[in-house]
Amino acid sequence: MSSFIDIFAQHEWHKTKNRIYSKTAYDVQVALGSSTRTIEDFEALISPAAEPYLEEMAQLSNAITKKRFGQTIQLFIPMYLSNECQNICTYCGFSLDVDIPRKTLNDQEILSEVEVIKSLGYDHILLVTGEANNIVGVKYFQHALKLIRPHFSHISLEVQPLDQEDYELLTPFGLNTVLVYQETYNENEYKTHHPKGKKSNFLYRLDTPDRLGRAGLHKIGLGALIGLEDWRTDSFFTALHLDYLEKAYWQSKFSISFPRLRPCAGGIDLKSNMTDKELAQLICAYRIFNEEVELSLSTRESESFRNNAIKLGITNLSADSKTNPGGYANREESLEQFEICDERSGATMAKVISAQGYEPVWKDWDSVLQ
């Protein structure tokens, strides 16, 4: 059985980083001029040497995205089911050592959230929890999916990594997509930020997309948290992961997110800052490297960046986001995982998208499909 762990073992962090930082303008020109692009081209496109080529990269990314996805942007909304967590993650507002009231939604609370979310127009929902297997485990997810499925045509899940068998127990309940971010591909740094709980097992997390692929998930979402380590090196490993997974699980679709760390309760100082210009470069680089991958941007980003990202290669946007369980029906701002930046509603985002000549897409899946 193949696993990304074997590929990962062949790449050393510091050598990779040095390679990216020694890319030249010539490497960037070669990458831009190629008709099919390799992971070495991607290294050039995310390197500092590509910065002067940003406008050219943006134009290319825009054209490629239009050809594949048309002038459309899909909208989705997260729904937090629980903020219980038995992990310590130094950057997260749900971390076990952060003293906040904990809450897990019951049936009535889930349905109240669903009602509000449906009234906002959404049809794609992302369910989120912390990692607390005894409270929010497979049984809880099955039950929640059963309640939620009749109301949405596409359901994504962003929870703790599970075993392959567990994912197989969830797909019959209408689970379409699972997002699992590696946080950082630097194993040592990972251990510093995840000292306690099941999450401290770096390789188990790294192997999760393989387990999702084997379980036959329709879509798998990847990403590295931006702020923990050098973003260029982490992005290289994300792209390497994507490249491997596409070949290994050719029936699954993939998406990439770029979560830049935001302030939260008990949060750390960031080791690596990323400017807006660099985030734009990264978005374009992913698109030029991979024409088919979905690129998703959350409300962590500012209004102005999100407005302009529509034409850079982004295909999916969340909006209206509340990052606390029960946040839609009960508008009190508390228990949040992180503060969001763009607080505009989906209806407003739809107008912003339309004004740029793009169509906001609320439904692009059907419950008849896995």
Binding site for another protein (CB under 8 A): 66-72, 123, 153, 246, 250-253, 292, 354, 357-359, 361, 363-366, 368-370
SS3 category, 230: coil
User: Would you say 67 or 331 has its CB closer to another protein?
Assistant: 67
SS3 for 361? strand
In which residue are the tokens 């962003």 written? 158
CB of 237 to another protein, least distance (A): 20
Cα 105 from Cα 10, distance rounded (Å): 43
Give the distance from CA 99 to its chain's centroid: 26
Q: Cβ of residue 253: shortest distance to another protein, in angstroms?
A: 4
Nearest CA-CA partner of 45 in 211, 284, 219: 284
Residue type (1 letter), 344: R
Pick between residue 68 and residue 271 the one whose CB is nearest to another protein. 68
Q: Which is nearer to another protein, 2 or 22 (CB)?
A: 2
Q: Which of 290, 284, 274, 289 is nearest to 231 (CA)?
A: 274
Alpha helices in 257-345 (DSSP H): 276-289, 303-309
Residue 234 tokens read as 């982490």
CB of 247 to another protein, least distance (A): 10
Q: Which is nearer to another protein, 259 or 313 (CB)?
A: 313
The CB-of-246 to another protein minimum distance in angstroms stands at 6
Nearest distance from residue 369's CB to another protein, in Å? 5
Cβ closest to another protein, residue 76 vs residue 338 = 76
d(C-alpha 354, C-alpha 234), whole Å: 34
